[in-house]
Amino acid sequence: MSTKQAIQTFAVPNDLESFWIPFTPNRAFKRAPRLIARAKDMHYFTPEGRAVLDGTAGLWCTNAGHNRDPIVAAIQAQAAELDYAPAFQFAHPKSFELASRVAALAPADLNRVFFTNSGSEAADTALKIALAYHNVRGEGSRTRLIGRERGYHGVGFGGISVGGIVANRKFFGSLLAGVDHLPTTYNREHQAFTKGEPDWGAHLADELERIVALHDASTIAAVIVEPMSGSTGVLPPPKGYLQKLRAICDRHRILLIFDEVITGFGRLGYAFAAERYGVTPDMIMFAKGITSGSVPMGGVIARDGIYETFMRGPEHVVELFHGYTYSAHPLACAAGLATLDLYRDERLFERAKALEPKWADAAMGLKGLPGVLDIRTVGLTVGVDLAARPGTPGLRAYAAMERGFHDEGIMMRNTADTIALSPPLIVSEAQIGEIFDKVARVIEAVA
Ligand SMILES: Cc1ncc(COP(=O)(O)O)c(C=O)c1O
């Protein structure tokens, strides 16, 4: 397609002012927009038809690659068959089918799936289930929620309260009461340039014992962590850390919630990180990869015992007063089923696992480039910390992301002065090389 044809096919909006763009510096964007009009497999295309290699699976979500034919066909067919069915008091068949398929992928007795439309709603849902669960079983004093510094659980009030990103919290008042935080697991001095899980840091889980001692276990409902913190720059868990958290939670009958919105659906080479680490949480949150980003969807998988605790009282009475108009939306369920088929048929989780060593080696090739302070990898992810430019924190990684898009044709994520990469799981070895060649040139350019 010629550039002229491309411009005719994808009309370029001539007024950028109305749209208030989320988590984006709006004025800078509108001066030099990064517009994406089309996508296929590993690539985005600008309105002019310029290809941009997707180094980030969109926002950590298009794990099966872009615009895959079976997913597109499933969404089209579903739109023609059933647009919407009420999410309360009624249900459509694909919601049950998808829930069973998700449960089959989850470890142990994590068999009960509550659908939401996003990771943020999954966070609220998991926290509310935890509080209600203790209430229903007669321990209503357990109201305290424990998150972690540098954790990200979306942008609802629940998620930002247990989350640990200062900028996401400081403008929004007193947040939820009764929240405490574990320390971050990241320590550059002890962990710099580690492939996979760092050796140092399991002892940081013991901080949970200190928090329990301070508040008493009888007041604590749940601990929520990402097995690997993605949004604050890829922080893999230290070896043994998650196992320790599980043991402490067991000791005090505190629920353990894994936020697997990023780590779910193959990102770390397994259906869920819980499997990679051999740790069974009480709830798993998911989103993003469930539909490979094609239709918004999220959810919470709960252990049988949690669900069963709610199944008491008169049968005509709602057991959990919670849900969304678009929970288990037909389009999302159709997309989810087609996506899970693709993951299975193309063995994409296994593919990610097999590629991990090559990915990690290629990533570590950035070591020694100007301003590179640390590189962390796990599964098909990497976080590269760059030295901040004096007086302008965040500007160097922002410049890298911009330059990557406009000059190198690569999509990268920036968070503070960290670059994060997480390609679709269909990435080829040649494309891994291409990604890191491009990123290396960008890092040199913004030095
Ligand atoms: C770990 C984690 N939890 C929750 C969310 C929030 O998901 P959403 O943006 O779909 O609300 C994200 C988004 O990046 C995430 O990474």
Helix (H) or strand (E) holding 213: helix 207-215
Per-residue confidence at 116, pLDDT binned at 50, 70, 90? very high
Q: What is the pLDDT of residue 193?
A: 98
pLDDT at 6: 52
Local confidence band at 15 (pLDDT 50, 70, 90 cut-offs): confident
State the DSSP H helix or E strand holding residue 438, giving kind and residue range, or none if neither. helix 429-445
Cα–Cα nearest to 132, from 115, 148, 120, 145: 145
Instruction: Specify the ligand 1 atom closest to the Cα of 298.
Output: 10
Cα 119 to ligand 1 centre (Å):
4
- Return the SS3 of 305: helix
Helix H segments across 287-381?
Answer: 304-310, 330-345, 348-364
The two three-digit tokens of residue 235, written as one number:
């922080």
Residue 189's pLDDT band, with cuts at 50, 70 and 90, is: very high
* Mean pLDDT calculated for residue range 159-166: 98
Q: Whole-angstrom Cα distance, residue 295 to residue 188?
A: 37
> What integer pLDDT is reported at residue 2 of this predicted model?
52
Q: Quick one: what percent of the chain has pLDDT higher than 90?
A: 97
Residues with CB under 6 A from ligand 1: 118-120, 123, 152-154, 226, 230-231, 259, 261-262, 287, 298
pLDDT band for position 223 (cuts 50, 70, 90)? very high
Residue 199: per-residue pLDDT? 98
Does pLDDT of 70 surpass 80?
Answer: yes
Alpha-carbon torsion 215, 219, 225, 231, what sign?
negative
Residue among 121, 155, 257, 288 to mutate when testing ligand 1 (max atoms within 8 A of CB): 288
Q: Ligand 1 centre from 278 Cα, in Å?
A: 23
- Going across the sheet that includes 413-415, the strands are 372-378, 381-386, 418-421, 413-415
- pTM of the predicted model as reported, rounded to 2 decimal places: 0.96
Residue 8 has pLDDT above 60, yes or no: no
Find tokens 């492939």 and name the residue: 195
If you take atom 12 of ligand 1, which residue's CA is the nearest one? Answer: 154
Q: 3-class DSSP state for residue 340?
A: helix
Would you say residue 134 has pLDDT above 80?
Answer: yes
Q: In the chain, what percentage of residues exceed pLDDT 70?
A: 97
Average pLDDT over residues 2-11: 54
pLDDT at 7 over 60: no
Can you tell me which atom of ligand 1 is nearest the CA of 263?
1
- Residue 119 CA: nearest ligand 1 atom is 7
pLDDT of residue 368: 98
- CA 159 to ligand 1: nearest atom: 4
**Which of 61, 120, 150 is the pocket-test mutation for ligand 1 (most atoms within 8 Å of CB)?**
120
Q: Is the pLDDT of residue 12 over 70?
A: no
DSSP result, 112-152 = EEEEESSHHHHHHHHHHHHHHHHHHTT-TT--EEEEETT--
Closest CA to ligand 1's atom 3: 153
DSSP bridge pairs for 283? 257, 302
Across the chain, what does the average pLDDT equal?
96
Residue nearest atom 13 in ligand 1 by C-alpha distance: 154
Q: Counting atoms of ligand 1 from 1, which one is nearest the CA of 156?
A: 11
Name which of 252, 261, 309, 257 is nearest 283 in CA terms. Answer: 257
- DSSP annotation of 204 reads G
Q: What's the whole-number mean pLDDT along residues 368-378?
A: 98
CA of 117, closest atom in ligand 1: 10
Mutate which of 231, 285, 300 to test ligand 1's pocket (most atoms within 8 Å of Cβ)? 231
Overall average pLDDT of the 294-300 stretch: 98
* Predicted confidence (pLDDT) at residue 200 exceeds the cutoff of 60: yes
Q: Pick from 26, 52, 28: which is nearest to 39 by CA?
A: 52
Ligand 1 centroid – CA 290 distance (Å): 13
DSSP 11: P
